[in-house]
Every structure is written in structure tokens, then in C-alpha cells.
Amino acid sequence: MTVYVHVRDLSELRERVAAAGPRAETARRAGMTPQRLHQLVHGDRTTVAVTTAAALEDALSVDRGALFRFPDTALAAPYASPDAVA
């Protein structure tokens, strides 16, 4: 079952991505396409798979959960630990 999370604060996501350097490189580090990152930053898409969210937060060097939130907090425990998200 794929779990999806929502962007917590779009302006914060934009700031973090802008500060990270070239968007294509940030997308590569997060294992996503530059187009998908563009969609997130511009609010065209506001949900991503939990594994994608974790990879993006790791690529941006922010704590897990800083940029994305769960619709059901019971699903959040594995996401909080880098070892639990493959």
C-alpha cells in the first residue's frame, strides 16, 4: 500500500528548494524528476508518496516531517526514522 503525504507549507518548501541550488540537482538527489519537483514547488501537486517525501526532505537536509504531513498520524512513525523508509 502506498501512503501519500501532503505538503505542509508551500512557501517553506519553495524556500528550501530555492536555497538548495539547481532544481534539477535537487530533484536528482531526491530520486524524482525535475518536472515533479516543479509541480510540487508551484502547488500543481500537493501530495507525494511517503518515500518521495522522505527522499526530498533528506536531499534538502531537513528533518522528516518538516515539509510534509500525514492525513493520518498513525502512519507517521515509520516515516520519522530514516532506517524505516526504503
Domain range enclosing 12: 4-80
| Higher per-residue confidence, 79 vs 29 | 29
Asked whether residue 69 is domain-assigned, the answer is yes
φ and ψ at residue 21, rounded to 5 degrees: 105, -155
Which has more pLDDT, 82 or 33?
Answer: 33
pLDDT of residue 39: 97
Domain count, the chain: 1
- Dihedral sign (CA 62, 66, 70, 74): positive
Q: What is the CATH number of the domain that holds 59?
A: 1.10.260.40
Does 49 reside within a domain? yes
Give residue 86's pLDDT: 37
Do residues 79 and 5 make contact, with C-beta atoms less than 8 angstroms apart?
yes
Note whether residue 30 is domain-resident. Answer: yes
d(CA 23, CA 4): 22
10-64 residue pLDDT tens: 999 999 999 999 999 999 999 999 999 999 999 999 999 988 998 999 999 998 8
Residue 86 lies in a domain: no
How far apart are the C-alpha atoms of 44 and 38, rounded to whole Å? 8
